[in-house]
Amino acid sequence: MTCLAEPFAVVHSVAGRVRLRLPRGLDGVRLARAAAAVDGVFDARANALAHSLVVTYDRERTDVERLRLAVRSLAATAETGRCRRPDHGLMAVAGSLAATAGVHVVPAGLRLPVALSTTAPLLGHAVEDWRENGLTSHGLEGLAVAISLARADYTAATTTAFMLTLGEHLEEGVARRADEMLAGLLRPTDATVWVRRDGGEIAIPRDAVEVGDSVVVAAGTVVPVDGTVLSGEAMVDEAVMTGESVSVTKARGAAVLSGTLVEEGRLIVYAEHVGRQTASARIADYVEQCLGAKSEAQIEANRLADRLVPLVLKLAGGAFLVSGDWRRAASVLQADYACALKLATPVAFKSAMYTAGRSAILVKGAQALERLASADTFVFDKTGTLTTGRLEVTEAVTFDSRYGPEDLINLAASVEEHYFHPLAMAVVAAARASAHYRHFDHREVEFIVAHGVASVIEGRRIVVGSRHFVAEDEGIDVAAHAEVIDRLYGEGKTLLFIGFGGELIGILALRDALREAAAATIARLRANGVKRVLMLTGDHRERAADLAAALGLDGFHAELMPHDKAAIVERLAAEGARIAFVGDGINDAPALAGAHVGIAMHRGADIARLTADIALLEDDLERIADAKEIADEAMRRISRNYRTTVWLNSAILGAAAFGFLSPVTTAILHNGTTIGILLASLRQRLRRRPGSSAVAATKAPTAAAPRP
């Protein structure tokens, strides 16, 4: 997914140093400070005359292309709209306030110089903006202040300048807060990590951790890798990644995510994803690359705001021609639609992305949310999506009266327990869950790759595996039970044949388990306006039909090849459907890429997660319904922002045109309503199922990580 339009151009580059060209009007000093904090950057300096940024960096930790994307995304806030002037810090606000108060007490001959001291930056920026961008809201503001100065109404000029400076300072703060919420979604891990090596525990740099390392994580420490717990037990706060307010217990076999906090206990974690491949690092990358991506709603807001600027200018001119009062014209020029329209939309999207991240949903940019909100057809892959992707024993069919169903399972599990295949693990799990679990002593187990296992129990050879292995390789007759075998195959089940002493004594039937949340998720999607829910699978038609009926789906396609899924998605799109495709496998990647919006499951293949527009960070199907609700709420909020902005500003403009508002009052009302709309855009509500919280407060990490 391409999140950014055109990266900043590279003017010059040598080893460890690059010069990037900056657009005119951008606050280079502020951008340099932000760029200096980027991972791998030693120093960043802005050259105002050359409109460039010079970055010195560590070649082992980053490169020119990554830096260019990082700088481009950092500058996106300044590019969001032409509403903000540079350097509106507290000092500028204080200076403007002092000039506003001083213009009343200084001698008459000094009032113009005092007024110019506070209005000159505003006027200068208005002229510069007009030269580069044509007539914008800055031009209207500058013209209003110039009119007040020309009429020697220094109180109106300085007060207006102060209100504009204060208003834009607060607006910048609100927009910056939206960025900080996303950045604050991640807890930085410590610079050093403790690992087990050479029989001991040593501290190494975080970047030196490798896949396969045994990472030691103690209480008060942020987990630095994605992996599986090898040993130990601990209470882990996962709110930052999953949104759950209640800490969870982690023990051997449990999965842990980077960025989560160990509150109590101690874990040894097998590192599966390290460095830039961890969940938290991937979120950081996507936030960095997609933070400034413009959605269609944002682009349309910018266009509308720009189209309304000439209308405001005409209204100001008309008010003056009718009344002959320059104060009316100045009042009208104080109010426009640009800032609220241009800033509120990206703030609302960033707030929604933050809420999604806290709900274990990685959204790759505002466009993904926008497309998800408009999706009217959800297409699910079956295996690993609607189902768990984990097999479970559903039937044990015996052909020998000496053995019952539990005997079959126990016999098979006794020789399968050393074999880490999904079928073997399902059989062992079924045996241990049995009320009469029994382990049969056996000789050394023989593994036959892609066929099965064999051993000797009580002096007789036992084989567990495929039909081909048992019938052809072992010479065991299965024809007598063809009717039962065909029935089970027809139901879409996977079969394990058990031969004992040269005879087929039974069959174990296994099937992928349906996710518990599948029906609830589909019901929530329908409640949120989804018109059709379909399923695509390569599985048998009978099994697909049973599953579709159980979930109340609108249709399904079975026995598909990978390219068939993409073709079906393409055909549905051609018919006018706006498709959200949910999948997890390598074979789902073409369909994920071709859909209106692609959603990848938590345990999906890397290519599926990279191709998708949205990736789940938790193995919970209901997160899909959460994502849909977040997207819908974001678009509703943006729509409300549109209506509120148009009505409020139209009312202010009308009152100013009829002479009911002075320039100062207009400035106060305009900036106040704009700030209110921006603050409203920061809020993101989400209806959650009982027992979870998408907006649980993130606990502050321990400042210093103790030695494990």
Tell me, what amino acid is at 455? S
Q: How do strand 377-381 and strand 532-536 relate by DSSP bridges? A: parallel
pLDDT band at 243 (very low <50, low <70, confident <90, very high): very low
Q: How many angstroms separate the CA atoms of 591 and 252, rounded? A: 36
Tell me, what amino acid is at 200? G
| Predicted pLDDT at 456 | 93
Give the three-class secondary structure for 297. helix
Angle between the 137-150 and 326-334 helix axes, to the nearest 10 degrees? 150
How many CB atoms are closer than 10 A to CB 486?
Answer: 10
| 388 within 8 A of 515, measured Cβ to Cβ | yes
Contacts of 129 (CB under 8 A, 6+ apart): 25, 82, 136, 138, 139
Dihedrals phi, psi of 641, to nearest 5 degrees:
-60, -45
pLDDT at 694 over 50: no
| 67 within 8 A of 57, measured Cβ to Cβ | yes
| Predicted pLDDT at 135 | 65
| Predicted pLDDT at 423 | 81
| Predicted pLDDT at 112 | 79
Angle between the 326-334 and 622-657 helix axes, to the nearest 10 degrees? 180
| Predicted pLDDT at 617 | 80
pLDDT at 47 over 50: yes
| Predicted pLDDT at 503 | 92
pLDDT at 7 over 70: no
Q: How many angstroms separate the CA atoms of 137 and 150, rounded? A: 20
| 182 within 8 A of 105, measured Cβ to Cβ | no
Structure tokens at 660: 């009911």
| 117 within 8 A of 99, measured Cβ to Cβ | yes
652 vs 100: which has the higher pLDDT: 652
| Predicted pLDDT at 215 | 93
**CA–centroid distance for 480 within its chain:** 55
pTM of the predicted model over 0.75 = no
Give the three-class secondary structure for 418. coil
Contacts of 232 (CB under 8 A, 6+ apart): 251, 252, 265, 266, 267, 268
Q: How many angstroms separate the CA atoms of 601 and 63, rounded? A: 31
| 614 within 8 A of 363, measured Cβ to Cβ | yes
Burial of 603 (0-12, 13-18, 19+ CB in 10 A): middle
Of the listed ranges 133-142, 146-155, 192-201, 425-434, the one predicted with least confidence: 133-142
Secondary element (H or E) of residue 412: helix 405-416
* pLDDT single digits (tens) 21-44: 777 556 676 677 777 777 778 888
| Predicted pLDDT at 219 | 83
| 49 within 8 A of 88, measured Cβ to Cβ | no
- Beta bridge partner(s), residue 266: 218, 233
* pLDDT single digits (tens) 273-290: 887 777 666 655 554 544
Contacts of 499 (CB under 8 A, 6+ apart): 461, 462, 463, 464, 470, 474, 476, 505
Q: How many angstroms separate the CA atoms of 701 and 619, rounded? A: 25
Secondary element (H or E) of residue 42: strand 41-47
Q: How do strand 494-500 and strand 261-273 relate by DSSP bridges? A: unpaired
**DSSP category for residue 445:** P
Look at the alpha carbons of 565, 571, 574, 580 in this order and tell me if their dihedral is positive or negative: negative
Q: CA dihedral in degrees (650, 652, 654, 656; nearest 10)?
A: -150
Q: How many angstroms separate the CA atoms of 487 and 6, rounded? A: 59
| Predicted pLDDT at 176 | 57
* pLDDT single digits (tens) 77-136: 444 434 444 444 566 667 666 766 777 677 777 777 877 777 777 777 777 767 766 666
Structure tokens at 29: 């000093």
User: What residues are labeled active site?
Assistant: 381
pLDDT band at 291 (very low <50, low <70, confident <90, very high): very low
pLDDT at 309 over 60: yes
* pLDDT single digits (tens) 479-521: 889 999 988 887 778 889 999 999 999 999 988 778 889 999 9
Secondary structure of 53-122 as H, E, C letters: EEEEECCCCCCHHHHHHHHHHHCHHHHCCCCCCCCCCHHHHHHHHHHHHHCCCCCHHHHHHHHHHHHHHH
| 350 within 8 A of 291, measured Cβ to Cβ | yes
| 599 within 8 A of 582, measured Cβ to Cβ | yes
Q: How do strand 503-514 and strand 361-363 relate by DSSP bridges? A: unpaired
Angle between the 366-374 and 338-358 helix axes, to the nearest 10 degrees? 80
| 359 within 8 A of 694, measured Cβ to Cβ | yes
pLDDT at 171 over 60: no
* pLDDT single digits (tens) 373-406: 999 999 998 878 888 877 889 899 999 889 999 9
pLDDT at 426 over 50: yes
Of the listed ranges 404-413, 522-531, 641-650, the one predicted with least confidence: 641-650
| Predicted pLDDT at 656 | 85
Q: How many angstroms separate the CA atoms of 108 and 111, rounded? A: 5
Q: How many angstroms separate the CA atoms of 217 and 270, rounded? A: 11
| Predicted pLDDT at 133 | 64
Give the position of tokens 């019901």.
523
